[in-house]
């Protein structure tokens, strides 16, 4: 964040961010709702509290936006679905309480692919988000709204959720930084579940330093989330800035499954060159299991989604049409009307892979491949500090280009999915551009719990490529 930002009053910053969100954010369709009253109340408290905890918190007075699948008490949390169009949660997600305690000012909610299912933000019930860098291409997904609001300069930090790449890929498509922490480091309480063994909330910011700050504010054990880590990774913000360490880096630049475009390859090779020049040791690696990663992910993620989304029965939650029907018709009618095409496709696929006779053939096999991917990473991290890959095999693609090609859309997550399956920390940072000025990002993956190392390596590469 800029120095002007730091020295302005919290009220001043909040007003500017709310204005930008209501104008630029709405035009990009990146912002779904604002919580103006809550934001001004928080800002006023901070301006009055000079010297107290919230005024010295690490995000004190910083306006932030949250992906609209994170519960904010008394404000809409739609998941960009007709199913939850009118849902107002009676409680806060744990990260909301943590952000409040760190002095952040939550100003509203961002657009996403419905229930975080997608890679382009075109699956939102509220329409697609435009990429602020070039409005003809997608901003990525599913946290496309959160990446777009940071790229457009509306807020310095926004939060997204990442199940198979949904923080890292949109960050890459919008030319900003996005990180998925070690699974369990950030509480999932109040994050609408998609695939629980994969879902993680993560920050998106314009710089690695802001991303580190945004992550430090939300990390920590939470008794309300039984899967949250008891000993969480610790992030020392000063350590992140130390960029004199020489890393051993394993690079995965290619895939048999999907072509990595020449633009992306060029940017990766150029980054590697710069790293070698200053003394990092870089070696190309093979990851033979990569070809199974996407299939494995779509079996596990859809299986978990089919169970998680069963709760939308239109009795306790969800869209409810006419009651003048039989019970069977009631469920089928409301779920038919409430869910979009991609969500239905995943519920059907997930139910299928869990059904008798197919469980062993698909679900169990996918779980075994997941284990093999974890072991392959263990082996790699016995030799390397960090693994570097493209974040996405292609630069941002055109709006509408992959809408009726779901398999092509799924392949765009090939490089982000392995770290999700293994629960590893991974970050995307912008390192180059196509000839037409579209952003290209690289991903860095670290060992479990080494979130600080990932940030530190990212800061090192950011300095090498930007400054």
* 142 near ligand GLN (CB under 6 A): yes
The verdict on whether 33 is a catalytic residue reads no
Please report, to the nearest 10 degrees, the dihedral formed by the alpha carbons of residues 162, 22, 33, 341 taken in order. Answer: -60
Which residue, 142 or 187, has its beta carbon nearer to ligand GLN?
142
Provide, rounded to whole angstroms, the least separation between the CB of residue 452 and ligand GLN: 23
Decide if 287 contacts 418 (C-beta within 8 A): yes
Q: What is the DSSP letter of 163?
A: S
β-bridge partners, 105: 63
CB closer to ligand GLN out of 260 and 275: 260
3 state DSSP class of 180: strand
Please give the sequence-ordered ranges of beta strands (E in DSSP) within 197-305, or none if there are none: 200-205, 248-251, 281-284
Of 145, 165, 432, 447, the one binding ligand GLN by CB under 6 A: 165
Indicate which single residue of 413, 451, 452, 462 sits in contact with ligand GLN (rule: CB under 6 A): 413
Site string for ligand GLN, 166-195 (x = CB under 6 A): x---------------------------x-
Burial category of 273 from C-beta neighbours within 10 Å (exposed 0-12, middle 13-18, buried 19 and up): exposed
Q: Residues 116, 294, 343, 455: which binds ligand GLN (CB under 6 A)?
A: 116
How many Cα atoms occupy the beta-carbon half-sphere of 84 within 13 Å? 21
118 interacts with ligand GLN by CB under 6 A: yes
Q: Residues 60, 81, 119, 142: which is the catalytic one? A: 142
CA distance 63 to 59: 8
E strand or H helix at 159 = strand 157-162
Does 128 participate in binding ligand GLN (rule CB under 6 A)?
Answer: no
Task: Output DSSP code: residue 396.
Answer: P
Catalytic residue among 60, 166, 306, 428: 166
163 touches ligand GLN (CB under 6 A):
yes
Residue nearest to ligand GLN (CB): 166
Pairing of strands 157-162, 63-67: parallel
- Token digits for 422? 């293994």
Binding mask 251-290 for ligand GLN (x = CB under 6 A): ----------------------------------------
Whose tokens are 């991917």? That residue is 373
Q: What number of chain residues touch ligand GLN (CB under 6 A)? A: 14
Tell me: does residue 233 bind ligand GLN (CB under 6 A).
Answer: no
Q: If binding is defined by CB under 6 A, does position 162 make contact with ligand GLN? A: yes
Identified binder of ligand GLN from the candidate list 147, 301, 386, 426, rule CB under 6 A: 301
- Our finding on whether 111 is near ligand GLN (CB under 6 A) is no
CB of 424 vs ligand GLN, minimal distance in Å: 14
Per CB under 6 A, does 391 bind ligand GLN?
A: no
Sequence-ordered list of residues with C-beta below 8 angstroms from that of 360, at least 6 positions apart, any chain: none
Does residue 166 have an active-site annotation?
yes
CB neighbour list of residue 25: distance below 8 Å, 6 or more residues apart:
31, 65, 148, 149, 152, 154
Q: Which stretch binds ligand GLN (CB under 6 A): 116-124, 171-179, 287-295, 384-392?
A: 116-124
- The torsion defined by the Cα of 126, 128, 134 and 136, in degrees rounded to 10, comes to -130
The residues of the shown chain that bind ligand GLN, judged by CB under 6 A, are 116-119, 142, 161-166, 194, 301, 413
Active site residues: 67, 142, 166
């Amino acid at each position: 964040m800029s120095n002007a930002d730091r020295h302005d009053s919290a009220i001043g910053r909040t007003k500017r961010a709310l204005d930008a969100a209501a104008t630029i954010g709405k035009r990009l369709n990146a912002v779904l709702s604002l919580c103006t009253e809550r934001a001004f109340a928080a800002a006023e408290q901070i301006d009055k509290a000079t010297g107290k905890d919230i005024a010295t918190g690490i995000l004190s007075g910083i306006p932030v936006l949250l992906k609209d699948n994170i519960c904010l008490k008394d404000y809409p949390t739609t998941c960009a679905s007709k199913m939850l169009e009118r849902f107002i949660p009676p409680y806060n997600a744990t990260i909301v309480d943590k952000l409040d305690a760190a002095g952040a000012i939550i100003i509203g909610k961002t657009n996403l692919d419905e229930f975080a299912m997608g890679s382009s933000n075109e699956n939102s019930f509220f329409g697609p988000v435009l990429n602020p860098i070039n409005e003809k291409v997608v901003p990525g997904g599913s946290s496309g709204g959160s990446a777009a609001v940071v790229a457009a300069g509306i807020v310095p930090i926004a939060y997204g959720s990442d199940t198979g790449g949904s923080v890292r890929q949109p960050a890459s498509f919008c030319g900003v930084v996005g990180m998925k922490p070690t699974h369990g480091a950030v509480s999932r309480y109040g994050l609408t579940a998609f695939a629980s063994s994969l879902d993680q909330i993560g920050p998106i910011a314009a710089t690695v330093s802001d991303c580190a700050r945004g992550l430090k504010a939300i990390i920590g054990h939470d008794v309300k989330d039984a899967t949250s880590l008891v000993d969480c990774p610790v992030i020392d913000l000063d350590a992140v800035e130390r960029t004199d360490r020489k890393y051993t880096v394993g690079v995965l630049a290619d895939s048999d499954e999907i072509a990595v475009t020449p633009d992306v390859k060029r940017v990766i090779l150029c980054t590697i060159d710069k790293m070698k020049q200053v003394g990092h040791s870089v070696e190309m690696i093979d990851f033979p299991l990569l070809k199974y990663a996407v299939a494995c992910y779509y079996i596990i993620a859809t299986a978990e989604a089919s169970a998680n989304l069963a709760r939308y029965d239109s009795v306790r939650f969800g869209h409810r049409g006419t009651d003048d029907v039989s019970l069977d018709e009631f469920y089928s009618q409301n779920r038919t009307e409430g869910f979009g095409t991609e969500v239905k496709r995943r519920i059907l696929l997930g139910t299928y892979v869990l059904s008798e006779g197919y469980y062993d053939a698909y679900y169990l096999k996918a779980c075994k491949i997941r284990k093999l991917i974890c072991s392959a990473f263990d082996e790699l991290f016995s030799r390397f500090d960090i693994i570097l890959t493209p974040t996405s095999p292609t630069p941002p693609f055109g709006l509408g280009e992959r809408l009726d090609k779901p398999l092509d859309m799924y392949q765009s997550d090939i490089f982000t999915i392995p770290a999700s399956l293994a629960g590893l920390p991974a970050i995307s940072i912008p390192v180059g551009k196509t000839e037409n000025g579209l952003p290209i990002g690289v991903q860095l993956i670290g060992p479990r719990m080494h979130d600080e190392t990932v940030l530190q390596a990212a800061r090192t590469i950011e300095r090498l490529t930007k400054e």
